[in-house]
Amino acid sequence: AVHVLRLGHRPGRDERMSSHVGLTARALGADRVVFAGEAAGPEETVADITERFGGPFEVEVTDAYRPLLEEFPGPVVHLTMYGLPVEEVEAEIRNSHRDQPLLVVVGAEKVSFDVYEAADYNVAVTNQPHSEVASLAVFLDRLFEGRELDREWTDAECRVVPKARGKRVEPTDNGE
Ligand code: SAM
């Protein structure tokens, strides 16, 4: 299983970015997101999307992320522009995750140095500054080698019918 930890999540700040980290984690093959902070908004958004468009996907909020980081029973990847290039370490990470869960950590503003130390891998998606949403998306796609794009969803109320133009959403058997 792949878990995503989003650090630095504060009420009224970064709400959309936190939601987008959660939605991106869900859409691109992770199994759970943990928001380290106090706000309930992003948690509700992600849970609501999971209810409508399916899962399985878990959402949690914690005010103490250190135990999760320190006691996680598998490799911990911290996404940071200062880390090693993803293209150089992805194969090793994929191997080490084969029979263990993986924790992917993304920050918001300044990430405390103990996160760099607690991580088994500090990984950069380019060494240029950009965004936790973008780095998570590229990292997950590399990790799963694209297979996350045709994931199956269960317990969805509705699904999108792909169309070249226009929008079509239909209820599933669960949603009727
Ligand atoms: N300047 C902050 C620091 O030094 O910790 C980081 C701020 S950045 C807006 C927020 C998050 O985006 C980072 O914590 C990291 O997880 C992610 N991020 C930004 N650029 C990245 C990159 N090139 N590679 C990997 N992750 C990146």
Distance from residue 74's CA to the centre of ligand 1 (Å): 22
- pTM for the whole structure: 0.95
pLDDT tens digits for range 97-138:
989 999 999 999 889 999 999 999 999 999 999 999 999 999
124 Cβ below 6 A of ligand 1:
yes
Residue with tokens 């911990």: 76
Look up tokens 């990984």; give the residue: 123
Q: Is 109 annotated as a binding residue?
A: yes
Cα distance between residue 36 and residue 103, in whole Å? 14
The H or E element that residue 3 is part of is: strand 2-9
Dist. CA 8–CA 120, nearest whole Å:
20
Taking the domains of the chain in order of start, what are their residue ranges?
Answer: 2-149
Taking CA atoms only, the protein residue closest to ligand 1 atom 27 is: 80
Which stretches of the chain are DSSP H helices?
15-27, 41-53, 66-71, 86-97, 113-118, 132-143
Q: What is the CATH number of domain 2-149?
A: 3.40.1280.10
Q: Would the CB of 14 count as within 6 Å of ligand 1?
A: no
Specify whether the CB–CB gap between 46 and 20 falls below 8 A: no
Report the distance separating Cα 49 and Cα 109, nearest Å: 26
Q: What is the distance of C-alpha 35 from the center of its chain? A: 10
Measured between alpha carbons, how far is 143 from 90 in angstroms, rounded to an integer? 6
Residue type, 105: V
| ipTM exceeding cut-off 0.90 for this assembly | yes
The tens-digit pLDDT sequence of the chain (176 residues) is 999 999 986 666 778 899 999 999 999 999 999 999 876 789 999 999 999 999 999 999 998 999 999 999 999 999 999 999 999 999 999 999 989 999 999 999 889 999 999 999 999 999 999 999 999 999 999 999 999 999 999 999 999 999 999 999 999 987 66
Which atom of ligand 1 lies closest to the CA of 123?
A: 25
